[in-house]
């Protein structure tokens, strides 16, 4: 019997349904797991996505032909029953459940199993075949609880204030920035943002996610206020003339890649905070086990290592070659900067 999802040059294809999941080349029908630039691309004829992702998708892709499904709601297309379920990655992120002739496949997109107040929590789905990411699919990747992490961010911010320095924290504009906003203590001082974050923050607020008040960094002229501020910006801005306004600022970067020795030093940051919107090694293994799937297909990340580990556990594991990146892709995507700021 034919697989429900196969590789094609355009992306991951469902043959009986004649549609693609997160295709990287233009197609007629695309099911989108979430709005990160490597999964949601322009040029498709018709888009199907989870309802909470609507604001971010439109902010990034403009006036697309977009059909929305609530979480758990299903639509049947050419005999394939398609439903979308929370992936816990970012606002509106979804796993794609496909049911056809008694078989169930789940394509997870990117996902996170840790709690996150800015998006719906990951929902384990029983299936025959599970397609999983493996961005951080190595045993070295294990995340700290958010309470500990954000206490460290708040402490770094407060120490910079005592030293009379602004606290500039680099983070990806969609997902990571909003998670930081929801986790830090706004009572410590003003929170300023780069213009690239503004439309995405508004999309989160419109979707009912509570975020503290923020202002554009370019709108603040008071030097004393800048020195008390926490400033969030995309990574590219930290190496641009935009940074001059803050003078001798404390700098940090928030990413799962900060778990690697040397990553902070190579980036030239004062601090590195290990914060990811992807599952860590225990999270990946737990999510895979919860599906009950005997067959697992691994996509981007440490795919070879994950496949080897799953085979050693007695599962039928293989990989798909995709053009998905990981959260580092956001550093260089033009789609991540819809608002251009002056230096």
Is 228 contained in some domain?
Answer: yes
Query: DSSP string spanning 17-32?
Result: TTEEES-SS--SEEE-
Q: What sign does the dihedral 46-51-53-56 (CA atoms) show?
A: positive
Mean pLDDT, residues 320-330: 70
Regarding whether 310 and 218 lie in a shared domain, the answer is no
Mean pLDDT, residues 212-239: 95
pLDDT of residue 268: 80
Mean pLDDT, residues 25-33: 98
The percentage of the chain sitting over the pLDDT mark of 90, rounded to a whole number, equals 90
Mean pLDDT, residues 67-81: 98
Regarding whether 190 and 306 lie in a shared domain, the answer is no
Q: Give the strand pairing for 94-100 and 80-86.
A: antiparallel
**Quick check: 294 pLDDT over 90?**
yes
Domain boundary among 223, 248, 273: 273
Per-position b or e across 14-25, b if 16+ CB within 10 A of its CB: beebebbbbbbe
Q: How far apart are CA 198 and CA 49, in angstroms?
A: 22
Q: How far apart are CA 56 and CA 47, in angstroms?
A: 13
Q: How many domains does the chain have?
A: 2
Regarding whether 281 and 191 lie in a shared domain, the answer is no
Regarding whether 249 and 316 lie in a shared domain, the answer is no
**Quick check: 254 pLDDT over 80?**
yes
Is 341 contained in some domain?
Answer: no
Residue 223 pLDDT level (bands cut at 50, 70, 90): very high
Is 309 contained in some domain?
Answer: yes
pLDDT of residue 261: 75
pLDDT in tens, 276-287: 999 999 999 999
CATH at residue 288: 3.60.15.10
Mean pLDDT value across the chain: 93
CA dihedral 328, 35, 171, 110 (to 10 degrees): -60
Regarding whether 86 and 13 lie in a shared domain, the answer is yes
Is 66 contained in some domain?
Answer: yes
pTM of the predicted structure, to 2 decimals: 0.93
Is 342 contained in some domain?
Answer: no
Regarding whether 281 and 269 lie in a shared domain, the answer is no
Regarding whether 123 and 103 lie in a shared domain, the answer is yes
pLDDT in tens, 187-217: 999 999 999 999 999 999 999 999 999 999 9
Domain boundary among 239, 273, 307: 273
- Burial class of 187 by CB neighbour count within 10 A (0 to 12, 13 to 18, 19+): exposed
Residue 325 pLDDT level (bands cut at 50, 70, 90): confident
Regarding whether 211 and 300 lie in a shared domain, the answer is no
Looking at 163-262, list the stretches that DSSP marks H as alpha helix, in order from N- to C-terminal side. Answer: 176-183, 198-206, 223-228
pLDDT in tens, 90-122: 999 999 999 999 999 999 999 999 999 999 999
Regarding whether 214 and 169 lie in a shared domain, the answer is yes
Is 343 contained in some domain?
Answer: no
Residue 265 pLDDT level (bands cut at 50, 70, 90): low
The percentage of the chain sitting over the pLDDT mark of 70, rounded to a whole number, equals 93
Q: How far apart are CA 297 and CA 279, in angstroms?
A: 16
pLDDT of residue 264: 65
pLDDT in tens, 159-183: 999 999 999 999 999 999 999 999 9
CATH at residue 190: 3.40.50
Residue 329 pLDDT level (bands cut at 50, 70, 90): very low
Is 1 contained in some domain?
Answer: no
Regarding whether 31 and 125 lie in a shared domain, the answer is yes
pLDDT of residue 139: 97
Regarding whether 238 and 225 lie in a shared domain, the answer is yes
Domain boundary among 273, 291, 307: 273
SS3 label, residue 214? coil
Mean pLDDT, residues 1-27: 97
Regarding whether 19 and 63 lie in a shared domain, the answer is yes
Is 82 contained in some domain?
Answer: yes
pLDDT of residue 337: 36
Which residues span the domain enclosing 64?
Answer: 6-140+277-336
The residue among 239 and 232 whose pLDDT is bigger is: 232
Q: Give the strand pairing for 74-77 and 167-170.
A: unpaired
pLDDT in tens, 118-136: 999 999 999 999 999 999 9
């Amino acid at each position: 019997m034919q697989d429900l999802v196969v590789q094609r040059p355009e992306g991951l294809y469902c043959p009986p349904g004649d549609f693609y999941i997160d295709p990287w080349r233009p197609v007629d029908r695309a099911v989108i797991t979430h709005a990160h630039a490597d999964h949601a691309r322009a040029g498709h004829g018709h888009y199907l996505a989870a309802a909470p992702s609507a604001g971010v998708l439109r902010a990034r892709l403009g006036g697309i032909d977009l059909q929305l499904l609530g979480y758990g709601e299903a639509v049947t297309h050419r005999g394939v029953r398609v439903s979308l379920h929370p992936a816990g990655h970012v606002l509106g992120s979804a796993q794609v459940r496909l049911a056809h002739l008694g078989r169930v496949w789940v394509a997870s997109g990117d996902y996170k199993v840790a709690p996150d107040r800015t998006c719906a929590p990951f929902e384990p789905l029983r299936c025959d075949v599970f397609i999983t990411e493996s961005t951080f699919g190595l045993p070295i990747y294990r995340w700290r609880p958010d309470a500990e992490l954000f206490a460290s961010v708040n402490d770094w911010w407060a120490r910079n204030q005592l030293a009379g320095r602004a606290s500039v924290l680099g983070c990806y504009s969609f997902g990571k920035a909003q998670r930081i906003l929801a986790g830090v203590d706004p009572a410590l001082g003003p929170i300023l943002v780069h213009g690239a974050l503004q439309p995405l923050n508004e999309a989160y607020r419109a979707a009912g996610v509570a975020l503290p008040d923020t202002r554009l960094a370019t709108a603040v002229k008071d030097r004393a206020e800048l020195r008390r501020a926490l400033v969030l910006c995309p990574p590219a801005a930290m190496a641009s003339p935009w940074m001059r306004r803050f003078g001798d600022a404390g700098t940090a970067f928030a990413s799962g890649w900060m778990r690697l020795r040397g990553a902070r030093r190579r980036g030239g940051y004062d601090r590195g905070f290990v914060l990811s919107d992807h599952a860590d090694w225990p999270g990946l293994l737990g999510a895979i086990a919860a599906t009950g799937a005997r067959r697992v297909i691994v996509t981007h990340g440490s795919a070879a290592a994950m496949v080897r580990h799953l085979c050693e556990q007695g599962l039928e594991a293989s990989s798909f070659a995709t053009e998905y990146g990981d959260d580092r892709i956001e550093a260089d995507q033009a789609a991540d900067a819809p608002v251009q700021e002056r230096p």
